[in-house]
Amino acid sequence: MTHHHLHSSPETCHWGFFEAALKPVLTIASGDEVTIDTISGGPDVVPERNRFHVPPELDEVHAKNERMVPGHILTGPIAVKGAEPGDVLEVEILDVKLRQDWGYNLIRPLAGTLPDDFHETRLINIPLDQKRMVGRLPWGLDLPLRPFFGIMGVAPPPAWGRITSLIPRAMGGNLDNKELIPGAKLYLPVFVPGGLFSCGDGHGVQGDGEVCVTAIETALQGRFRLTLRKDLRLDYPRAETPTHYMTMAMDPDLDQCVVRALRDMIVL
């Protein structure tokens, strides 16, 4: 087993999308561990630099990389040797750490669960105390942090072309599942040779959903073990934690999500 470290940079990040045509920035063997650095947010969310540390690679990506479609800055993709369409990639989450001392939360008009209640965009930069693992909210509350990656996914089928990272699909992506913390495993169906795993959209903490369309967004470092599972066949992502099995489904109709996830759970 070899350990790799993939740093975030203009050369290792893609902004806004997943695509089967993306070339891997790292190729590893099944069972290898990889530490992945990520960054988060566009130029409009960067705080006052005399108050917070801004990772220099965030500025570099803003300057050199084009946001191809609306979406997140992702690090990757990583190819796993031997992965073929129809296989499953097991993503074991070994560790997740904060990379900066701030996060942000954003509310926009006509977005989120209460689209008509807020008439102006509101951005809050939230100090993150890495020693105490709390975020200091403007009204004085210390909110306990529980960092995880909102996005973990593989490349979509080639016929899908370039797709936004905003919408989760069968290849994973923007799952925003707060239970995918260290100790959990995520299982992703593979659609292209190598699988092509990317991650990003770091969250300091999140509730059961993003009712205002953001959590406490921040830069994270994750350590993963990527293992090829040729003994499994999946149509949608699944996950397991030390205490639970999880099936997932993606559809604009929540009733359809329940039906699909329930059918997968019966099969499991």
pLDDT digits (tens, 9 = 90+) for 146-169: 999 999 999 999 999 999 999 999
Lowest mean pLDDT among 80-89, 100-109, 207-216: 207-216
pLDDT number for residue 209 = 85
Exposed e or buried b for every residue in 224-254, given b needs 16+ CB within 10 A?
Answer: bbbbbbeeeebebbbbbeeeeebbbbbeeee
Is 151 in contact with 196 (CB distance < 8 Å)? no
Beta-bridged to residue 247, according to DSSP, are 238
Parallel, antiparallel, or unpaired: how do β-strands 26-28 and 73-80 relate?
parallel
Rounded distance between C-alpha atoms, residue 205 and residue 115, angstroms: 22
* CATH code, domain with 89: 2.60.120.580
Residue 225 domain boundaries:
3-229
Rounded distance between C-alpha atoms, residue 48 and residue 198, angstroms: 29
Residue 254 within any structural domain of the chain: no
Q: How many CA atoms lie within 13 A of 66 on its CB side?
A: 2
CA distances in angstroms from 232 to 85, 112, 185, listed in the order given: 12, 36, 14
Residue 100 within any structural domain of the chain: yes
* Domains in the chain, number: 1
Residue 247 within any structural domain of the chain: no
142's tokens: 């210390």
Whole-prediction pTM value? Answer: 0.96
Nearest to 190 by CA among 30, 267, 83: 83
Rounded distance between C-alpha atoms, residue 212 and residue 226, angstroms: 32
Kindly report each contact of residues 134-137 with a partner whose C-beta sits within 8 Å and lies 24 or more positions away, as own/partner.
135/103, 135/204, 135/205, 135/216
End-to-end CA distance of the chain, in Å?
Answer: 29
Residue 166 within any structural domain of the chain: yes
**Residue 267 is inside which H or E element, if any?**
helix 254-267
Gyration radius of the chain over CA positions: 18
> CA angle 49-210-216, nearest 5°?
25
pLDDT number for residue 1 = 81
Q: Which residue has tokens 């090829």?
A: 228
Residue 213 within any structural domain of the chain: yes
Give me the mean pLDDT over the 223-229 stretch.
Answer: 99
The pair phi, psi for residue 134, each rounded to 5°, is -135, 155
Residue 129 within any structural domain of the chain: yes
Q: What is the pLDDT of residues 29-80, one digit of tens each?
A: 999 999 999 999 999 999 999 999 999 999 999 999 989 889 999 999 999 9
User: Above 90 in pLDDT, residue 19?
Assistant: yes
Residue 245 within any structural domain of the chain: no
Residue 237 within any structural domain of the chain: no
Q: What is the pLDDT of residues 182-216, one digit of tens each?
A: 999 999 999 999 999 999 999 999 998 888 889 99
Rounded distance between C-alpha atoms, residue 193 and residue 86, angstroms: 10
